[in-house]
Amino acid sequence: MKVQFLDKNAVKRSVKIIAGLSTSLSIALLFVDIPPERKIYAGALFLLALLSIHLVIWIQANRLREISIDVEGSTVSIKTGDIFKQRGLKAIAFNEYFDTQVDNVLISEESLNGKLITSKLKEPPETLDAHIENYKFDDGDVLETNVTRTSGKTTRYRLGTICVYNDFLLAAFARFDDNNQASLTMPEYLEFLINFWDRVNRVYAQKNVSTTIFGSGITRIKGHKLINEEDLLKIMLWTFRISEMRFKYPAKLTIVIHEDKIGQINLLDIASAKNGV
Band the pLDDT of 27: cuts 50, 70, 90: confident
CA distances from 46 to 16, 21, 25, 29 (A): 16, 10, 10, 13
pLDDT tens digits, one per residue of 58-92: 998 888 899 999 999 999 999 999 999 999 999 99
Residues 229-250, mean pLDDT to the nearest whole number: 92
Is residue 91 within 8 A of residue 209, CB to CB? The reply is yes
pLDDT digits (tens, 9 = 90+) for 97-152: 999 999 988 899 999 999 999 999 989 999 999 999 999 998 899 999 998 888 88
In this predicted structure, which of 25-39, 126-140, 170-184 has the lowest mean pLDDT? 25-39
Instruction: Report d(CA 258, CA 57) in Å as an integer.
Output: 24
Strand 209-212 to strand 142-144: parallel, antiparallel, or no bridges (unpaired)?
unpaired
* C-alpha distances in Å from residue 55, one per residue of 4, 49, 123, 144: 11, 10, 52, 57
Closest CA to 104 of 180, 168, 215: 180
pLDDT band at 31 (very low <50, low <70, confident <90, very high): confident
Rounded Cα distance, 32 and 39, in Å: 12
Write down the pLDDT at residue 219: 58
CB atoms within 10 A of CB 252: 17
Report the pLDDT averaged over residues 227-242: 92
Domain ranges of the chain: 8-62, 66-276
Interatomic CA distance for residues 163 and 91, integer angstroms: 10
pLDDT at position 114, please?
94
* Gap between the Cα atoms of 174 and 197, Å rounded: 16
Can the peptide bond before residue 187 be classed as cis, meaning omega within 30 degrees of 0?
Answer: no
Check whether 94 has a pLDDT greater than 90: yes
Average pLDDT, the chain: 89
Q: Is the pLDDT of residue 179 over 80?
A: no
Residue 9: which pLDDT band, with cuts at 50, 70 and 90?
A: confident
Residue ranges with strand state E in the chain: 66-71, 74-80, 89-95, 142-144, 156-157, 162-165, 168-176, 182-185, 209-212, 220-222, 253-257
Which CATH number is correct for 66-276, 3.40.50.720, 3.40.220.10, 3.40.1350.10, 3.30.1280.10? 3.40.220.10
> Model pTM?
0.86
